[in-house]
Amino acid sequence: MTRELRFAANWKLHLGPVEARTYMQTFRARYRRHEHRDVWFFPPAVSLEAAAQAVRERDDLWVGAQDIYWEPKGAFTGAVSAPLAAEAGAKATLVGHSERRHIFGETDDDTRKKVAAALAAGLAPVLCVGETLAERESGHTQAVVNRQLAGALGGMDGAKLAQVTIAYEPVWAIGTGRNATPQDAAAIHREIRAWLAARGVARARVLYGGSVSLKNIAALLAEPELDGVLVGGASLDPATWAELVQTGAT
Ligand code: PGA
């Protein structure tokens, strides 16, 4: 079966609407469509519409939200709902990114409600899971990842589960310049796949994230367990990102 690769760019708190437009122009000039790869962009909420407009006739390029609130509307000052993100042009959303969990106090139960809200609004959820350094060093990586999977996805039927992309992002690797080795990532990816397979998902999509760069992308993608990557820092420059997403393309 042909390998499908997904490259996801998490811009975090960078690139407003004006910069987002310029970024997309540069990116599109440097990246022509490649079969069997898609590229997803997660701009800040205020740049969703500008970014989505800039790629609207390219179905290999998707724009998504970095976070959504689970209620569709109401008195929730500061929140963005899944239907509103969709209206602005989002086709996907991150859920449970480690910065949401660790800085903003998001719980496993919150991630469950967000995944459900995303699916209900037709957004493809990208559920982020991963352990802290202390959890890894005390041998709890798998238990933490399984708890996060069960917290967000437990009880969901196989057809819905199959629509969820998982991003394995060890917290100690995010923004630190210290990536997991391809072998370490692969071991966790196998466990994630097994967790999903036990619930009826035959072909799960599992991305790796954490200090992915031009220096390590080829080695990471050489590991067949990786279905792609979720990238923060190295996605902020459109020329670098265009080069990164063409790694290994013929
Ligand atoms: P990084 O971030 O590539 O800058 O480590 C990854 C992420 O947080 O998704």
Q: What CATH number does domain 5-245 carry, 3.40.980.10, 3.20.20.70, 3.30.420.40, 3.40.50.80?
A: 3.20.20.70
Would you state the pLDDT for residue 104?
Answer: 97
Residues 6+ apart with CB under 8 A from 135: 141, 144
- The DSSP bridge pattern shows strands 37-42 and 205-209 to be unpaired
pLDDT at residue 1 above 80?
no
Give the integer Cα–Cα distance in Å for 126 and 166: 6
Would you state the pLDDT for residue 102?
Answer: 96
pLDDT digits (tens, 9 = 90+) for 168-213: 999 999 999 999 999 999 999 999 999 999 999 999 999 999 999 9
Alpha-carbon separation of residue 246 from 37, 121, 179, 217 (angstroms)? 9, 31, 20, 10
Q: Identify whether 97 is a catalytic site residue.
A: yes
Would you state the pLDDT for residue 2?
Answer: 84
Residues 6+ apart with CB under 8 A from 213: 179, 233, 234, 244
Q: Identify whether 169 is a catalytic site residue.
A: yes
> Residues 95, 247, 133, CA angle at the centre, nearest 5°?
45
15 in Cβ contact with 233 (< 8 Å)? no
Q: Which residue has the higher pLDDT, 57 or 43?
A: 43
Number of residues assigned to the chain: 250
Q: Is 10 in the pocket of ligand 1 (CB under 6 A)?
A: yes
**Cα–ligand 1 centroid distance for 229 (angstroms):** 10
Would you state the pLDDT for residue 220?
Answer: 97
Structure tokens at 222: 């050489």
**Looking at 49, 106, 135, 169, which residue is catalytic?**
169
Structure tokens at 141: 């990586």
Going by alpha carbons, the residue nearest to atom 7 of ligand 1 is 232
**Cα–ligand 1 centroid distance for 75 (angstroms):** 32
Structure tokens at 240: 């670098």
Query: Any idea where the domains of the chain sit in the sequence?
Result: 5-245
In this structure, the number of other CB atoms found within 10 A of the CB of residue 191 comes to 17
Q: What is the pTM of this model?
A: 0.97
Would you state the pLDDT for residue 202?
Answer: 92
Mean confidence (pLDDT) of the chain:
97
pLDDT digits (tens, 9 = 90+) for 147-160: 999 999 999 999 99
**Cα–ligand 1 centroid distance for 74 (angstroms):** 32
Going by alpha carbons, the residue nearest to atom 2 of ligand 1 is 232
pLDDT digits (tens, 9 = 90+) for 87-124: 999 999 999 999 999 999 999 999 999 999 999 999 99
In this structure, the number of other CB atoms found within 10 A of the CB of residue 125 comes to 27
Would you state the pLDDT for residue 72?
Answer: 97
Q: Is 235 in the pocket of ligand 1 (CB under 6 A)?
A: no
